[in-house]
Structure 1
């Protein structure tokens, strides 16, 4: 029994393999760290941080704590959902005091991740700054998830797949970003895309821009990204807190993608075999 939570640990659930050297069980895939916890599953680890964003005197981008919270947890959560992992733990490291800033941030984080199935208080842990007065906001978020090793979806793209951007790349301070912006892909849309059989690879775009992520995606599956010359998006613009995601699918399935989401859908190129 775990005394602090009341959760009962069943003996049969603890009979996993004994881990002697955890380093040997680790590997990196894109921005994710994977740990093989048994023969069938990976623990998937994703993290992100934000600084200078909030309502404190020395914050560069002025937003309420609730918006900071959503965007801080959004990036690692999107990374896990995109790869097919099931999130189960949120670790929040707050470089602000708990009362009042931290309480507002945590309440919004807990509300936001409910849609991804994280609903129990035992699924949250973290810390705050209670020794030094803070004049600038900072937060780091790590999320843990579990994924089947056999069905791990990274590398599912095929030659001639279309590379599609769902949402518009935006980042502060260039843009005034708000969670309700119709140009920003939503968590619900991401979940629906991941469930769709027509979506091959799926990953959020970040601060390095859409073009970088498309090229990395192509490289990870042994292909080359060939961009369209007439794309209206700025492919080098930072996508900030994962305001858009990239996916690959067959050309004949593009109409299905458009039905799954309300956010803008833009075909930015396709995958080709090297040397073609």
Structure 2
């Protein structure tokens, strides 16, 4: 059984035909409890926690087969409300969420801070899987806006979600999609180049803060052909900006 790391994903060959793909994310100090730093509902915590891990799996091209929530809170009522948010985030996928979702909660001790971990397991069939690949000559575009904390709560209209990601996946001129998280735009742009043995050439003028955290993956970097950039802008209901190219 071979196991390799690909960016934030773990890939495990389980037989000659299939590979498991594992993604995880966590959050702490965000919720309604006494010592939470960012105050928001448990439903919002669950929604964005599920979004991060699931978008990693979907961007890579794996089919989700299990979602695990590890809740460092009591089930009643915080845990149930977090799970409600998880289910809301996963609605666009139209699968049997009741059977695909499992997890655990903290029932032994009272907690004053909200803590959540989400793991998503996906699977790929080797015979028909096309490994996402960026080639020299393609450009990198940012879709969505990097946001974190209270910024997300104020306005969600300009950030990516699972439904919008699935729309991007339908565009055959997009060669690779990489969600941006807490390490920022520049880090993920360079990571996309590195894993494809390319050099990342950054645009001289970019309207977004390339070092800022994008929190729960509020934007993604896509690689595509230069000629299709205007198509992407016209077809995507989110801010789109060229951030560089690959050589």
Q: Which TM class, normalised by the smaller chain length?
A: over 0.9
- Which residue of the partner structure matches residue 205 of structure 1? 180
- Contact between 1:88 and 1:118, CA under 8 Å: does it hold in 2? no
SS in 2 for 1:157: coil
2:77 is equivalent to residue 77 of structure 1: no
RMSD (CA atoms): 1.5
- Which residue of the partner structure matches residue 207 of structure 2? 232
- Contact between 1:110 and 1:119, CA under 8 Å: does it hold in 2? no
Question: Using the alignment, how far apart are the partners of 1:64 and 1:157 within structure 2?
Answer: 39
2:69 is equivalent to residue 92 of structure 1: yes
Deviations 1:15-37 (A, max 9, x none): xxxxxxxxx42111110001112
Q: CA deviation at 1:75?
A: 0.6
Question: Could you say if the C-alpha distance between residues 205 and 153 of structure 1 is closer, same or farther in structure 2, counting changes exceeding 3 Å?
Answer: farther
- Which residue of the partner structure matches residue 136 of structure 1? 113
Question: Could you say if the C-alpha distance between residues 114 and 179 of structure 1 is closer, same or farther in structure 2, counting changes exceeding 3 Å?
Answer: farther
Question: Using the alignment, how far apart are the partners of 1:150 and 1:252 within structure 2?
Answer: 31
- Contact between 1:87 and 1:117, CA under 8 Å: does it hold in 2? no
- Contact between 1:84 and 1:147, CA under 8 Å: does it hold in 2? yes
Deviations 1:11-60 (A, max 9, x none): xxxxxxxxxxxxx4211111000111222221110000000000000001
Question: Using the alignment, how far apart are the partners of 1:154 and 1:165 within structure 2?
Answer: 21
2:219 is equivalent to residue 244 of structure 1: yes
Deviations 1:207-253 (A, max 9, x none): 00010000010011111111001111100000110000010000001
- Contact between 1:154 and 1:201, CA under 8 Å: does it hold in 2? no
Question: Could you say if the C-alpha distance between residues 203 and 57 of structure 1 is closer, same or farther in structure 2, counting changes exceeding 3 Å?
Answer: same
More displaced, 151-160 or 130-139?
151-160
- Which residue of the partner structure matches residue 46 of structure 1? 23
SS in 2 for 1:130: coil
SS in 2 for 1:82: helix
- Which residue of the partner structure matches residue 270 of structure 1? 245
Equivalent residue runs for 1:28-177 within 5 Å: 28-172=5-149, 175-177=150-152
SS in 2 for 1:176: helix
- Contact between 1:153 and 1:201, CA under 8 Å: does it hold in 2? no
Q: CA deviation at 1:106?
A: 0.7
- Which residue of the partner structure matches residue 8 of structure 1? none
SS in 2 for 1:263: coil
- Contact between 1:80 and 1:86, CA under 8 Å: does it hold in 2? yes
- Contact between 1:54 and 1:61, CA under 8 Å: does it hold in 2? yes
More displaced, 193-202 or 35-44?
35-44
More displaced, 76-85 or 175-184?
175-184
State the TM-score, normalized to the length of structure 1.
0.86
- Which residue of the partner structure matches residue 183 of structure 1? 158
Question: Using the alignment, how far apart are the partners of 2:197 and 2:127 within structure 1?
Answer: 20
Question: Could you say if the C-alpha distance between residues 30 and 41 of structure 1 is closer, same or farther in structure 2, counting changes exceeding 3 Å?
Answer: same
Runs of 5+ consecutive residues of structure 2 not aligned to the other structure: none
- Contact between 1:43 and 1:147, CA under 8 Å: does it hold in 2? yes
- Which residue of the partner structure matches residue 223 of structure 1? 198
Deviations 1:132-161 (A, max 9, x none): 001100000001111233554545111111
